[in-house]
Amino acid sequence: MEETYLLNVEGVKKKILHGGRGELPKLQDGSKFTFHFQTLKDNFERTVIDDSREAGMPMEIIVGKMFKLEIWETLLSSMRIGEVAEFWCDTIHTGMYALVSRGMRRITEGRDPLEGQKHRCGMGNMFDYHSTGYEDLDELQREPQPLIFIMELFRVEDPSAYKRDTWAMSKEEKLAAVPVLHSEGNRLVLRREFAQAAAKYQEAVICLRNLQAKEKPWEDGWLKLESLVTPLVLNYCQCQLELGEYYEVLEHTTELLQKHNDNAKAYFKRAKAHAAVWNEREAREDFQRVAHLDPSMAAAVKKELKQLGERMRKKHVEDRKRYQGLFQSSQG
């Protein structure tokens, strides 16, 4: 067994499992670590809590932009490229792990890591803090305990060598990124690369939602950001319509209309999604709202209603034939 090394930090022990190469990396504000990690309980079974390899993606953190678990920056700063090390960290360093893990798991699941924290009153956010949505993490929050982190450091990059991830950007960087992402999404739509375009629009929306979370809902700063969010969500929904993700469209347009119930384009996209999944009544109601809110779209609505009527008649004929066939076979 390798010798145990004590970092010059209270409540931390380090054990090198596999030596790295070269000197310790020279770090500066904005340097990015890329690494795999395992988090284990300090019990007899060494119960695994998280494993980035199982999640299928390495972890990245930015020096000087650290999220709630500050000790990780310290641990990684003690490692060489290619090194694998085990760190035992006392409870003074692990109290925020459950919240950090929740964010990482949500990212892996393709969800916004700030989900559930936006547009909530203080009591709501307090409740969200105490319930992570994951039973094992709730236990860690109730009973903080020492944890073991096994880390393998792949690379350390200077700030100029990589594209900044959305969560690591400053407010100014996020605002500057939004029009660029919007433009990239539009370019991809013209090439009919709808999945890639949707990802660009979604990234821009996340930038703006993260900024909105710091504003008071419905006040000037929040409304200004919301005016940027709305066209991006509509573009995202158009991509999802093209991809056949109709329930995704229903979800996002309904959420948008709860805040902006006079948006004709949102009703139009929701109506098309309803029509695609055979919700005839809901589709007709939404198309009628579009014609009422924006008379310039009346011709498009008339065309869509005609197509809907034809599709529904065809479906009714096919359903009748199917039921007749079933009835006849049961009689036989």
pLDDT tens digits for range 239-251? 999 999 999 999 9
Average pLDDT value for the chain: 84
At 297, list the tokens: 């779209």
Stretch (H or E) spanning 308: helix 298-331
CA dihedral 242, 245, 247, 252 (to 10 degrees): -70
Q: CA-to-CA distance for 200 and 184, rounded, in angstroms? A: 7
Cα separation of 58 and 275, whole Å?
41
List, for residues 24-78, the tens digit of each pLDDT value.
Answer: 988 887 788 999 999 999 999 999 999 988 877 788 888 876 556 789 999 999 9
Q: How confident is the model at residue 168, as a pLDDT?
A: 66
pLDDT of residue 90: 95
> Angle at the Cα of 213 (from 168 to 32), degrees rounded to 5?
5
Pick the more confident residue, 174 or 187: 187
Question: Nearest CA to 224 among 133, 206, 216?
Answer: 216
pLDDT band at 287; cut points 50, 70, 90: very high
pLDDT of residue 235: 96
Dihedrals φ, ψ of 310, to 5°? -65, -45
Question: Is 113:99 a contact under the CB 8 Å cutoff?
Answer: no
Mean pLDDT computed over 78-100 = 92
Q: Write the single-letter amino acid at 214.
A: K
Which secondary-structure segment (H or E) carries 157?
strand 147-157
In the numeric block, which tokens belong to residue 144?
């903080």
Decide which of 173 and 118 is more confident. 173
Mean pLDDT, range 157-180, rounded to an integer:
76
| Pair 249, 240: CB distance under 8 Å | yes
Q: What pLDDT score does 133 carry?
A: 80
List domains and CATH numbers for the chain.
4-157 (3.10.50.40), 171-313 (1.25.40.10)
User: SS3 for 81-140, per residue?
Assistant: ECCEEEEEECHHHHCCHHHHHHHHHHHHCCCCCCCCCCCCCHHHHHHHHHCCCCHHHHHH
The band of 8, judged by pLDDT with boundaries at 50, 70 and 90, is confident
pLDDT at residue 243, as a whole number: 94
> pTM score, two decimals?
0.53
Quick check: 332 pLDDT over 60? no
Residue 175 has a pLDDT of 86
Question: Going by C-beta distance under 8 Å and a sequence separation of 6 or more, which residues neighbour residue 201?
Answer: 181, 182, 185, 232, 233, 235, 236, 239
Kindly state the average pLDDT of the residues 97-115.
Answer: 72
